[in-house]
């Protein structure tokens, strides 16, 4: 497992990235929160960057990812952490809180609430090998730009039926929160590993749901203090039923210690990149209470 780490404070923050990202997506928060006195750790998750990438989708359930993270904390001799996740990193952070709340002081999750199946994306990406073949038809840097742009729109991802991912239009320019240097870094790592590891999170999601059966219903809730942040232009916020769920009593019932829900105006799916200082402040304002 490849890990970026900075800071030496008594409290540790563990950052979990999503797709199509790396530890690098948290670069702004690593610098700013370590400067505020925290030890900050951001791994490349299983299947990404310089971390091992098993080929089988069955090796990417939440149990595998949370197991990796527990192993990481044990290796670093860290007892408890503040968890911060985005996208699939948020999904894995929720599972971490469900399975090992004893290792989490509090959680701040971005974009993805717990137990929500990203059906519109699953249907496009689940077939093993097909998406990889389509991605390989486009230069990796261009594909990274296409993916960041696709997931930055408020509407659910629309992939042309005939041309699929290769048919996604090239945006006229990079968004202000991405530089050519950023794209080159992402591309250098995905050129090395391909996209299979990241795509396997989508493919393993139904198996995770099946294996979570023993935790269904009853008093098996998320018993960790939590803060949830989403942009009102986030593709996840616009998915069917998610906005209603985020503002519902059901969310508070599933996460009894949910203390804050923040909806950021005009912000798309990558708030930690689009509004890095604001996200740092949101994280800090919450975790400093503990």
Of the residues 87, 95, 222, 234, only one is catalytic, namely: 87
Catalytic, 185? Answer no
Q: Looking at 17, 64, 269, 282, which residue is catalytic? A: 269
DSSP characters for 142-206? HHHHHHHHHHTSSSPP---TTTGGGGSPPPSS--TT--HHHHHHHHHHHHHH-SHHHHHHHHHHH
Out of 48, 186, 202, 222, pick the active-site residue. 202
Between CA 18 and CA 26, with CA 21 as vertex, the angle to 5 degrees is 85
* 222 classed as catalytic: no
Secondary structure class of 139 (helix, strand, coil): coil
Read off the tokens for 174: 């990079």
Task: Give the residue from 227, 212, 5 showing the smallest Cα distance to 104.
Answer: 227
> Is 202 in the active site?
yes
Residues annotated as catalytic are 87, 202, 269
């Amino acid at each position: 497992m490849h890990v970026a780490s900075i800071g030496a404070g008594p409290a540790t923050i563990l950052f979990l990235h999503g797709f199509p990202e790396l530890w690098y997506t948290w670069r702004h928060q690593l610098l700013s929160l370590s400067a505020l006195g925290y030890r900050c750790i951001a791994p490349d998750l299983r299947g990404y960057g310089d971390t091992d990438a098993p080929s089988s989708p069955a090796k990417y359930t939440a149990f595998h990812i949370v197991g990796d993270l527990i192993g990481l904390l044990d290796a670093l001799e860290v007892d408890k952490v503040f968890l911060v996740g985005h996208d699939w990193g948020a999904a894995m952070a929720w599972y971490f809180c469900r399975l090992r709340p004893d290792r989490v002081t509090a959680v701040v999750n971005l974009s993805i609430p717990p137990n929500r199946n990203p059906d519109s994306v699953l249907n496009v990406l689940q077939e093993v090998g097909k998406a990889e073949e389509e991605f390989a038809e486009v230069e990796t840097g261009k594909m990274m730009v296409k993916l960041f742009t696709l997931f930055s729109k408020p509407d659910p991802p629309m992939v042309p039926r005939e041309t699929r991912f290769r048919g996604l239009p090239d945006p006229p320019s990079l968004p202000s929160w991405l530089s050519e240097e950023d794209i080159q870094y992402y591309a250098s790592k995905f050129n090395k590993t391909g996209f299979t590891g990241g795509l396997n999170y989508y493919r393993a999601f139904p198996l995770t749901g099946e294996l979570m059966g023993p935790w269904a219903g009853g008093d098996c809730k998320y018993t960790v203090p939590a803060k949830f942040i989403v942009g009102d232009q986030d593709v996840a916020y616009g998915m069917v039923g998610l906005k209603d769920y985020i503002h519902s009593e059901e969310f508070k019932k599933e996460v009894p210690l949910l203390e804050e829900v923040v909806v950021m105006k005009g912000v798309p799916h990558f708030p930690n990149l689009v509004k890095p200082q604001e996200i740092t402040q949101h994280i800090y304002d919450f975790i400093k209470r503990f």
